[in-house]
Structure 1
Amino acid sequence: MIVNRQADIIHKVHLLRVLTKIIDNPILSQSLYFKGGTCASMQNILDRFSVDLDFDVKSKSDEKVLRSEFHKIFKKLDYTISQESKVALEFFLKYKNGPNLRNTLKIDALNFQVKSNLYAPIFLPEIGRTINCQTKETIFANKLVAVKDRFNKHKSIACRDIYDIHHFFMIGLNYRSEIIIERTGLSPHKYFEYLINFIDQKVTQQLIDQDLNTLLPLDSFNKIRKILKSETILFLQNNI
């Protein structure tokens, strides 16, 4: 996982500490699928810093049991739960850190079943552990859909989604079309037409700068910030 600033190392340590405990817990590791930006970074297919842990919950898992196991881990690691959803396995954890430094870790384990998702056991060298993860093609497809999904649910735009899409295209990653069809009801071509218009109309330079400046090394941020929008649109147009 890429770490851009000395201060981020502390957050990374806590992130990996929690992930290791989750994988070492047989109840959690057999019920969760690792996904998202941190998963992609730890598979070396994403070159930015990622701050959260995201999981899919296996179908028919007992979420009360999973919640209890999460709580046991948080207690052992001396984390304070600052916020917790009552309807989903979503936690905001506080850890001790210096003033004005990042001190919050978010964990999402959502029981949102996508039949087209594919998973595989992946070895993560940074922690010397294997966990079931979304495949690379599954990660890419869900990231493409995340732009629309995030805006529909929360009226928010995360330019890290745009960055990730751009990066996945740049490294020649394939996406799983079935996921786009299942989650949007549109063919990839039709969805990309929507996405091009969305990015063109909604994604501003200010949003890009605000979201990415803490997630990329300064030189990488300066190189990509003014071309991210146009190049992402170009990639999408090329796939229509």
Structure 2
Amino acid sequence: MSLIFNREIHKRYLSLLLSDIVKTFPERVAFKGGTCAALFYNLPRFSFDLDFDLLYMFSLSNISKLKELLSRYGEIKDFYNKKYTLFFLFDYGKGYPKIKIELNKRVWKNNIYKPAWFLGVALSIAEEATMLTNKIVALTERKSPAARDLYDSWYFLKAGYSLSDALIQERTGKSKQEYLKSAASFIKKNYTSRNVLQGLGETLDDKQKIWAKAHLINEAVTEIEKLII
């Protein structure tokens, strides 16, 4: 069965779930990831999912409360509670794309969050350097290359956002310079015009896809190499 995709409907559900989650757990979650970047940092691509850091552990009653919240608007198709991740797969309608909701239990001590407002609701979000640094480290740490990380890292670097030296050291054990050199090499080795749209293409419009296929790899490497002394 082919998926029905209406961007405005999907955005409506993302907004609805986000506002309810942060209202229900105001001190426990911090918003991050692609949808956060699109809403608060003008990331010029669509994002399908919701990602949070857990600032305080969720109890079983918290998990039950979140399940009840999601069930008001649709159906939970999958759920797991692993060592580092709480995961919900939310379905708001037959044939429509599902929304992944991930709550990360492994929160790095050098992550920094800042206050923000969304639809009149106060929340905490990853600040710029935290967002960029976690994106650029994820770029090389995933089991298989994720072009969304490449695109988002390029965007934040191009926008002039800073990296967190302390967070790079904490996550990789390398200095910023060491890590940037390895990241540039990783991109050159693992990305080509044949795979650069995998997992990314559906988040871009046609004009963006043409640009990304032709230029994203070189542009991302160029931005990284500008920071290598």
Q: Could you state the TM-score of these two structures normalised by the residue count of structure 1?
A: 0.87
Q: Aligned residue for 2:101?
A: 107
For residue 40 of structure 1, report the CA deviation from its aligned partner.
Answer: 1.0
Partner-residue secondary structure (3-state), 2:93? coil
Partner-residue secondary structure (3-state), 1:46? coil
> Residues of 2 paired with 1:218 and 1:196: CA distance?
27
8 Å Cα contact 1:137-1:173 kept in structure 2 = yes
Report the CA distance shift for 1:63/1:202 in structure 2 as closer, same or farther (over 3 A): farther
Structure 1: where are the runs of 5+ without partners?
A: none
- Number of residue pairs the alignment of both structures matches: 223
Q: Aligned residue for 2:213?
A: 225
Partner-residue secondary structure (3-state), 2:199? helix
Q: Deviations over 1:185-204 (max 9, x none)?
A: 00111111111111111112
Q: Aligned residue for 1:67?
A: 63
1:22-37 mapped onto 2 (5 Å cutoff): 22-25=21-24, 28-37=25-34
Partner-residue secondary structure (3-state), 1:175? coil
Q: Deviations over 1:41-70 (max 9, x none)?
A: 1113311101110000014x2332321121
Partner-residue secondary structure (3-state), 1:204? coil
> Residues of 1 paired with 2:41 and 2:126: CA distance?
14
1:181-220 mapped onto 2 (5 Å cutoff): 181-220=169-208
For residue 6 of structure 1, report the CA deviation from its aligned partner.
Answer: 6.9
From 123, 132, 135, the counterpart of 2:127: 135
> Residues of 1 paired with 2:102 and 2:214: CA distance?
31
From 46, 69, 80, the counterpart of 2:43: 46
> Residues of 1 paired with 2:206 and 2:177: CA distance?
34
Q: Aligned residue for 2:72?
A: 76
* Stretch of structure 1 that moved more, 223-232 or 62-71: 62-71
Q: Could you state the TM-score of these two structures normalised by the residue count of structure 2?
A: 0.91
> Residues of 1 paired with 2:141 and 2:17: CA distance?
27
Partner-residue secondary structure (3-state), 1:13? helix
Q: Aligned residue for 2:163?
A: 175
8 Å Cα contact 1:45-1:168 kept in structure 2 = no
* Stretch of structure 1 that moved more, 202-211 or 135-144: 202-211
From 116, 127, 148, the counterpart of 2:110: 116
> Residues of 2 paired with 1:129 and 1:86: CA distance?
27
Identity %: 29
8 Å Cα contact 1:63-1:89 kept in structure 2 = no
